Amino acid sequence: MTITGQGAHMKMVFQDIRFGIRQLIKMPGFTFTAIVSLALGIGATTAVFSVVYAILLDPYAYKNPDRMIHMRLTVPSGDLNGFGVTGTQWQELRKSPVVEDTFLEDDWNPSITGGDLPEDVQGVYLSSNGFNFLGVPAAVGRGLQPSDAVDGQDPQPVAVLGYKFWQRHYNSDPSVIGKTIQLNRKNFAIVGVAGPRFTWGDGDVYLPLKITGDQVKGFYAGVRLKPGITHAQANAALEPLIFQFAKETPKHFPTDWKHLRIVGLNEDFVRQLGGTLYLLFGAVALLLMIGCSNVSILLLARATARQHEFAVRSAIGASQSRIVRQLLTESLLLSLTGAGMGLLLAYKTVDIIVANLPQFSFPHEAAIQINVPVLIFAILVAVTTGVLFGLWPAWQLSRPEVSQIMQSNTRKTTGDVKGRRTHAVLIGGQIALTLLMMAGAGAAIEGFLKVAHTPLGYDPHNVMSVGIPIHDGTYSTWPERAAYFEQIYAKVADVPGVELAAVSSNATPPDNGFRTKFEIVGKPSSADQSVRFNMVSKEYFPVLKMPLVQGRIWDEAETRRGAAVTVVNEAFAKRYFPAGDTVGHTMKVPELKPQPPYLLTAPSSEDGLLIVGVVADKLDEGLSKPVFPEVFVPYTVAMGMYTQVLVRAKGQPLTLLHPIRAAVNSIDPDQQTNNDVRDLEHWIMREPEWARGQLVAWLFGAFAALALALASVGLYSVVAYAVVQRTNEFGIRIALGAKKGHVLGIVFRSTVASVGTGIVTGVVLTLALNKVMASWSAESSRDPLLLLAATLVLSLVATFACIIPAWRAAGIDPMKAIRYE
């Protein structure tokens, strides 16, 4: 093509755009309805795609994340547990033929000191190659480097700040480099700020790890496989090595593990949330299809007024391709404008979705936002939908015969049968897809309501838990730690506004305790026999309003001396003592051994735990799993480096957080409390079953409501179009004596077939896709009441959508209708 030809072509394109804009401006009602239909569909699709892209397609900014793995161990319960390796074992791991590189990590929970109150921070120790391994450049300054931790020497006192911590505490000030941060009364020089998508271990502060050859400390080992190595190959190569490590350092491994399991970096998150996200993406795709069919209906209806125009243009020489291009230009203008409005909607929708995602079901490295890939997706969707919904009307209008000019009056008398059939197909498809979404939304909402009304076995209202980590080297004997915990309880219980308080080392619901093996003296035990083990004060039960079923709770004197007594739940009693003679038996817990300073145990615990009472069951393993056998012992029986204070407040518990922190700090000025403190109701709502169910129910309900609105607009457009097409016919009927009811019946009968066919098709689709819906909702979309309710609502909406144009048809003035052009 010559330059002149190219210029002429571009001139023609701009002419089409200008003409298309003028045409759309001339019909603001049509344009507004079409753009809003597309904006809702494209906006919702873009918002959900941004979440899918961030969590499933691009969750990590690390180097070669597809080759990074976690090493897990299978245990009889079906869970996957972690383990630790020593510095010497790490060096052996690096030599494996399937391993490209590996690094070590350890957690630390220090406090920022030097201010008014110590502040809890999440510290992460990384081996000197950690930042290079992960491969994310620092946002400011540098990351940790090999010179920060030379073998055989103490690490340099340097720190790299987490990006969000830097924003929160230093207002994103780049001059922070070279300043110091005081952690547990020790100064660390700030040498860098991690990148915004570097959140390994959810660290606030990253420090160089000291690695020694002893076998006291076990570290997490992150591994990157060599290119081309599959998980199965890695599993076969590494399992013998891990068995060797377990023999060398058994205390770093679960006692009952069976096999090594290689897990991809994002595998857990895909399993937890992948199906839900793909389902939501399918829902918005249906919504987009409904929006597109709406615009096709509007374009076909609008075509009625333009048949004469395009017949004339064709008669004077306009080619079919020229007319198609002009009409597709108008369609693309609609879709791109709809995409622009949809993006504005998507920005807000993304925030809502992120706020309702289950807290621990997606990687925090994921950047859930409207970014360049998402924008490209939105543009592609806009162009594709513009072509799809515009192609059929464009093709129909581009083939007018000159004789149509003469036949136009006949068409206005009888209506365009071919056009009515096309509309019937489109509206039937809309109704079917809308019914499918409504049935799915009903199942999701019913499933979530069941979860929300699940009996918990305790009362979380006005209760919060405040975590208190113990510093290394402090309260390192059993009497010191027991006295310290008792002081904490006494101080917190005296805070004004506190109704009740309790000490709990590990028993804050909705997910508390740890599983451990046990045996009942005088009874045979199986290899996989285990319970949830909780260390609490006697006030724990009244704080949570857990009723005593049998026996008693231990008293204050037993708490002070760390008496070897225990209270079990009903699930334990029913499983192991079906005759009801639970109280008085003794149980032993092999893992209840001292590991100073990390675990300090009372001497009496080695002789076994006497069962003195039975309490009611409560849910501790999520909201959908059955209650697991559980035991409770005085917190003084076994005290770790971390404790919690449970508080039942007289009002809103979070208002007591500052005075509680001050009370704890009055005992030990260096003692911090956890920053992330919420009430129990918040943690329940962040449980995966609750959060995922709420997200699906809310979004699917919203999408179904939008689909219903779009379908009603589409149906209204079809009926209005039919009335316009048949104005002369209705006028003649009325002139010949037809009653209003007769005309209303004609209009309604013309839509009954489309709506009825759509409902039947929708029911069939719902039944066929029931298994897909059951994957994210415990409720069945085959529930006849749900289907009946959805059908009735859809029928009512369809009826109301028909009333206005039908009433207009019944009120046509015969003389005006006969003269109608």
Q: What is the pLDDT of residue 1?
A: 45
Q: Across residues 42-62, what is the average pLDDT?
A: 94
Q: What is the pLDDT of residue 73?
A: 96
How many Cα atoms sit within 13 Å of 35 on the Cβ side? 18
Alpha-helical (H) ranges within 113-153 are 130-134
Residues 772, 779, 55, CA angle at the centre, nearest 5°? 50
Rg (CA), the chain: 34
Q: Which of the residue ranges 42-46, 338-342, 767-771, 811-815 would you say has the lowest mean pLDDT?
A: 811-815
* pLDDT band per the 50, 70, 90 thresholds, residue 104: very high
Is it the case that residue 138 has pLDDT exceeding 80? yes
Query: pLDDT by residue (tens digit) across 621-630?
Result: 777 788 999 9
Residue 566 has which token pair? 């225990």
What letter represents residue 76's amino acid? Answer: P
Q: What is the pLDDT of residue 516?
A: 86
Q: What is the pLDDT of residue 775?
A: 58
Q: Which of the residue ranges 157-161, 174-178, 362-366, 500-504 would you say has the lowest mean pLDDT?
A: 362-366
Q: What is the pLDDT of residue 773?
A: 64
Residue 537 has which token pair? 């004060």
Is it the case that residue 710 has pLDDT exceeding 90? no
Q: What is the pLDDT of residue 534?
A: 93
What letter represents residue 124's amino acid? Answer: V
Higher pLDDT, 326 or 340: 340
* pLDDT band per the 50, 70, 90 thresholds, residue 412: very low
Share of the chain above pLDDT 90, in %: 46
Q: What is the pLDDT of residue 399?
A: 59
Residues 810, 816, 818, CA angle at the centre, nearest 5°? 90
Q: Name the 3-class secondary structure at 580.
A: coil
Round to whole Å and give the CA distance between 627 and 569.
9
Higher pLDDT, 603 or 277: 277
Q: What is the pLDDT of residue 145?
A: 94
Q: Name the 3-class secondary structure at 292.
A: helix
* pLDDT band per the 50, 70, 90 thresholds, residue 675: confident
Q: What is the pLDDT of residue 411?
A: 46
Query: pLDDT by residue (tens digit) across 255-304?
Result: 778 899 999 999 988 888 888 888 889 889 999 998 888 888 888 777 66
DSSP 201-226: GG-SEEEEPP--S-SS--BEEEEEEP
Q: β-pairing, 158-161 with 186-193?
A: parallel
Query: pLDDT by residue (tens digit) across 727-765?
Result: 677 777 777 777 777 777 777 777 788 888 888 998 888
Contacts of 343 (CB under 8 A, 6+ apart): 42, 43, 46, 370, 375, 378
Higher pLDDT, 100 or 9: 100
Q: Across residues 52-59, what is the average pLDDT?
A: 93
Residue 93 has which token pair? 């791991």
Is it the case that residue 413 has pLDDT exceeding 50? no
* pLDDT band per the 50, 70, 90 thresholds, residue 409: very low
Q: What is the pLDDT of residue 781?
A: 60
As a 3-state breakdown, the chain gives helix, strand, coil percent values, each rounded to 5, of 55, 15, 30
Round to whole Å and give the CA distance between 389 and 294.
9
Q: Across residues 507-524, what is the average pLDDT?
A: 85
Which of 114, 109, 105, 108 has its CA nearest to residue 180? 114
Q: Across residues 670-676, what is the average pLDDT?
A: 84
Which of 545, 552, 547, 638 has its CA nearest to residue 590? 638
Given a contact cutoff of 8 angstroms between Cβ atoms, the answer to whether 400 and 714 are in contact is no
Is it the case that residue 51 has pLDDT exceeding 90? yes
Q: Quote the pTM value.
A: 0.81
Round to whole Å and give the CA distance between 27 and 17.
16
Given a contact cutoff of 8 angstroms between Cβ atoms, the answer to whether 324 and 239 are in contact is no
Q: What is the pLDDT of residue 48?
A: 93
* pLDDT band per the 50, 70, 90 thresholds, residue 666: very high
Q: Across residues 240-250, what is the average pLDDT?
A: 94
Which of 280, 390, 424, 287 has its CA nearest to residue 710? 287
Mean pLDDT of the chain: 86
CA distances from 135 to 124, 403, 420, 621, 685 (A): 17, 71, 61, 36, 35
Q: What is the pLDDT of residue 74?
A: 93
Q: Across residues 624-637, what is the average pLDDT?
A: 91
H-run or E-run covering 664:
helix 657-667
Q: β-pairing, 642-649 with 463-469?
A: antiparallel
Q: What is the pLDDT of residue 353?
A: 86
Residue 529 has which token pair? 């026999």
Give me the phi and psi of 104, to 5 degrees please: -115, 150
Is it the case that residue 404 has pLDDT exceeding 60? no
Query: pLDDT by residue (tens digit) across 418-439?
Result: 556 777 788 888 899 999 888 8
Q: Across residues 439-464, what is the average pLDDT?
A: 89
Q: Across residues 562-585, what is the average pLDDT?
A: 94
Residue 740 has which token pair? 């209003």
Q: How far is CA 323 from the centre of its chain?
A: 47
Is it the case that residue 4 has pLDDT exceeding 60? no
Given a contact cutoff of 8 angstroms between Cβ atoms, the answer to whether 501 and 490 are in contact is no
Q: What is the pLDDT of residue 397?
A: 62
Q: Which of the residue ranges 79-83, 331-335, 401-405, 552-556 would you say has the lowest mean pLDDT?
A: 401-405
Given a contact cutoff of 8 angstroms between Cβ atoms, the answer to whether 439 and 790 are in contact is yes
Round to whole Å and give the CA distance between 245 and 283.
48
DSSP 502-561: EEESS--TTS--EEEE-EETTS---TT-EEEEEEE-TTHHHHHTPPEEEE----HHHHHH
Is it the case that residue 473 has pLDDT exceeding 90? no
* pLDDT band per the 50, 70, 90 thresholds, residue 96: very high
Specify the length of the chain in residues: 821
Q: What is the pLDDT of residue 344?
A: 93
Round to whole Å and give the CA distance between 241 and 666.
49
Burial 746-768 (b: 16+ CB within 10 A, else e): bbbebbeebbebbbebbbebbee
Domains of the chain, by residue range, sit at: 19-59+269-400, 65-265, 402-451+688-821, 463-678
Quote the DSSP letter at residue 67.
Answer: G
Is it the case that residue 47 has pLDDT exceeding 90? yes
Residue 581 has which token pair? 């003679």
Q: Across residues 581-589, what is the average pLDDT?
A: 93
H-run or E-run covering 710:
helix 688-725
Q: What is the pLDDT of residue 120?
A: 85
Is it the case that residue 774 has pLDDT exceeding 80? no
Q: What is the pLDDT of residue 406?
A: 43
* pLDDT band per the 50, 70, 90 thresholds, residue 21: confident
How many Cα atoms sit within 13 Å of 171 on the Cβ side? 1
